[in-house]
Amino acid sequence: MHVTSLGFRTDLALLTSAGSVVEDRGTHLVVRTPDNPSYFWGNFILLAEPPVPGGEREVVGAFHTEFPAADHVSIGIDGDGLPDQSRTAFEAAGLEVDVATVLTASDLVAPRDVEAEVRALTTDDDWEARARLSHGLYPSTSEERFMAFARGKNVQERRLVDAGRGSRYGAFVDGELVSTAAAYVTEAGTARFQSVETHPDHRRRGLAAAVVHAAGRHALDHLGVGTLVIVADTDGEAIGIYRRLGLADAERQVMMERRTGEWATTGA
């Protein structure tokens, strides 16, 4: 299956580089991250195109067949849109449909100065602080379950760092990690931002812009990158930050999911 979506193409490149497995079924891909089954967008199905009318529940059934132990459903669709009829049918099947915005840039606008130390995460303590920052954003999920997920993501990202594909940067205030972002090379000349997170008490201070800029500049200046890619909620606050940094809308990315239990309000 040939993936045309820049958003999913960069997703898949990072996942496989960090140890995930992609199985090509012709009409769809099955993406697995065996070491981290709670990683929703590390364990999903990517369809080549929207299903024929009436086939939406069959697609959800196919996910359960592939991931019988999963307590979530994650399904992506290659391309940049979803017919209204199909969207309604997926919502009726219990999925939340998100058409995100993919943005790109060949350079970045410098953000304003911030009152924080901005640097790459390097030590085990730095990465553990990143996992705890993530958990603090989703307190409804138990510490045990969420930290297992977050530490698993750290393991995958550190493989990318060790391979020289990029870095995760953090903003530290009084020694505490309060905002973080990463950018990793996905293919020659292209890097994808990952997981921009900021503690609620430190938002609207320019910290997210600072860490995104730092991670992006590292990729541009040291890794031979000419195109930066980021994915954002179309109606979210973060997209404005990215646009002010010089990233521009390029396409849409269709993602659908259903979460249950304590994961229902998380962003895993």
pLDDT of residue 268: 42
DSSP state of 202: G
Domains of the chain with bracketed CATH: 6-101+254-265 (3.40.630.30), 117-250 (3.40.630.30)
Q: What is the pLDDT of residue 14?
A: 92
Predicted structure pTM score: 0.91
Phi, psi of 71 (to 5 degrees): -105, 30
Where are the alpha helices (H) located in 138-237, listed in sequence order?
Answer: 143-162, 207-222
**Residues whose CB is less than 8 angstroms from the CB of residue 84 and which lie 6 or more positions away in sequence, other chains included:** none
Q: For residue 257, how many other CB atoms are within 10 A of its CB?
A: 18
Blockwise average pLDDT, block size 10, the chain, 268 residues: 94 92 95 89 94 89 93 91 89 92 98 97 98 89 88 93 96 97 95 96 96 98 97 93 98 91 49
State the virtual CA torsion across 143, 146, 148, 153 in degrees, nearest 10: -140
- What pLDDT does 266 receive? 43
User: What is the identity of the amino acid at 180?
Assistant: T
**What's residue 265's pLDDT?**
47
Q: For 135-150, what is the HEC assignment?
A: HHHCCCCCHHHHHHHH
Q: What is the pLDDT of residue 262?
A: 54
